[in-house]
Amino acid sequence: MTNSSNLPTHGRHILIDLWGCDRAALADGEALDALMRRAAESSGATVLQTCFHRFPPTGVSGIVIISESHLSIHTWPDEGFASADFYTCGDVRPEAAVEVLRAGLAAESSEVLVVDRGRGGRDRSIRVVDR
Amino acid sequence: MTNSSNLPTHGRHILIDLWGCDRAALADGEALDALMRRAAESSGATVLQTCFHRFPPTGVSGIVIISESHLSIHTWPDEGFASADFYTCGDVRPEAAVEVLRAGLAAESSEVLVVDRGRGGRDRSIRVVDR
């Protein structure tokens, strides 16, 4: 195992957990697709493709592939819970995407974790920025 | 903001950074698609769809949507670096997928971070399990 701590970061990975969301919004795959596209575009990312699937009884999983990496969302409508991740590189503002998602799901609370990928070392690469 | 610490976890999110990888393997989109499918299947997941894109000059981004959530990979062939994430729910063994990925890319070193999603609270939900 080599020491990789001097490597630069290769992108920011933002993990967002959202509670108390609008349950109808979490179950509507088409609306989630549109919301996630809007979130990506608000961050300045270029959307290449989206792939959304509904799961019985009500959950939705979706991915937005962007030129700058990806966004994903998985929803549990019965619990009002959603988990998303935004992996972005370059001149993208994922914070804007987080705000679009929070507003679009009418989330009561959320936690945002930021991991700078490719740096190695827990202390430098992981932080909770918002709860 | 509500206190969400008593909610159960909604899946394990594993972030894998890999250094010193085979550069040809990192640049071959079709081979990466097959490798990520094999990684998903080795974990016991059910593959629904894959979406892979090549980026100039040599990078690849890919997503595997599984019934149990998703796997992603982004590669920087010129640097021998790849970052992947496996988000899984239920009876899936993502550790098996990590081993398939490490072997398939001939990675010299790696770091595996595990985040239990949906629990709230940094102390309980984040750990580096392997470096």
Cβ-Cβ contacts under 8 Å for B6 (sequence gap 6 or more): none
Does any CB of chain B come closer than 8 Å to the CB of residue A29? no
Does any CB of chain A come closer than 8 Å to the CB of residue B115? yes
Residue B6's pLDDT is what? 46
| Chain A residue at shortest CA distance from B17 | A118
Tell me the average pLDDT across A63-76.
94
Could you read off the pLDDT of A85-111 as tens digits, one per residue?
999 988 888 889 999 999 999 999 999
What amino acid positions of A are annotated as catalytic residues? 69, 74, 89
| Residue A28: pLDDT over 60 | yes
Where are the extended beta strands (E) located within chain A? 12-19, 47-55, 59-66, 69-76, 81-88, 109-116, 126-130
Does any CB of chain A come closer than 8 Å to the CB of residue B118? yes
* Spatial separation of the C-alpha atoms in residues A52 and A73, rounded to whole Å: 9
In this prediction, the residues of chain B whose per-residue pLDDT falls under 50 are 1-7, 122-123
Residue found by looking up tokens 């998903």 in the block: B40
**Is pLDDT larger for residue A127 or for residue B7?**
A127
The domains located in chain B, with CATH, are 20-108 (3.60.90.10)
Residue B1's pLDDT is what? 31
Which chain A residues contact residue B109 at CB under 8 A?
1-2, 4
Tell me the average pLDDT across A125-130.
66
